[in-house]
Amino acid sequence: MNLPYLALLLVVCVNQRNRPDIPSPLFPGPEEYTFASTPSWADEFNYDGLPDETKWGYDIGADGWGNNEQQYYTEKRLENVHVGGGLLTVTAIREPYKGSAYTSARLVSRGKADFRYGRFEVKAKLPSGVGTWPAIWLLPTDWAYGGWPASGEIDILEHVGHDPDVVHISVHTDAYNHVNGTQKTAKKRIENATADFHVYRVDWTPTYIRGYVDDVQIFTFANEGTGFRAWPFDKNFHWLINIAVGGNWGGLQGVDEMAFPAQLEVDYVRVYDLIEN
């Protein structure tokens, strides 16, 4: 090989190495966070009677709740919600009540326990039966960015009775929601979700939300850094625990009247603080 050819080859290699279209190194992923090892807030349900009033309030009424649901949510009614035997039990009942054919309960921690970031964990056993729609979730306390879905929603757990043992973890925002077909969600079939207790969890940080079932990650949603339309999750949120009856999703295959009363049982709910890096 002669020297002029070697010189030409060296120039080509140098130019190739400096070409502007050579891919840049990948940006690092979202910052990883850790959480406290003991909860900063919890309800272990080791008492009897109605839920602890220092931790829980109620959403009340029967306006369909934006989903054409059929239940009336009652307040402080032991038939629909009680604590005993170490469990919180929410019961949906088929009965006439203030113009509705079903009653249920929707517990909220709003104004009593509001959170921004953290690990949210619940151990629960789900109701069975077509037409049941239990959920354990988080909603914004102040709706700072506007009405749903602009201010966000985090679903730690949803289950519909017509698709038994399939659990869902989701988020809803103005940019990503089921109304416009862009919802960010994941689902997992687990054995005996309606017969056994399982642990459902969401890790909520400034840069990501991740969802787990029995410590197995099934869902992730990253903060894109594009503003509140995609990421309204920088404000306070609160817990909700409920069973809906029917509705746009829960009632997609009708409601089996023989499935009621239907019960959602909760062993505990816990919040672990985010440790700032």
User: CA 249, 252, 254: angle at the middle one, nearest 5?
Assistant: 130
Q: Of 157, 124, 164, 146, which is closest to residue 232 (Cα–Cα)?
A: 146
Is 44 part of the annotated catalytic residue set? no
Dmax over Cα atoms in the chain, in whole Å?
A: 97
Which among 69, 121, 158, 265 is annotated as catalytic? 158
- From the candidates 31, 53, 69, 153, which is the catalytic residue? 153
- The CA distances from residue 116 to 59, 122, 172, 271, in Å, are 21, 17, 16, 11
79 in active site: no
Cα 78 to Cα 101, 102, 250, 263, distances in angstroms: 18, 15, 24, 13
Nearest to 155 by CA among 138, 178, 142, 140: 138
Separation of alpha carbons 226 and 206, rounded Å = 13
Q: List the structure tokens of 160.
A: 């519909």
Q: Which residues are catalytic?
A: 153, 158
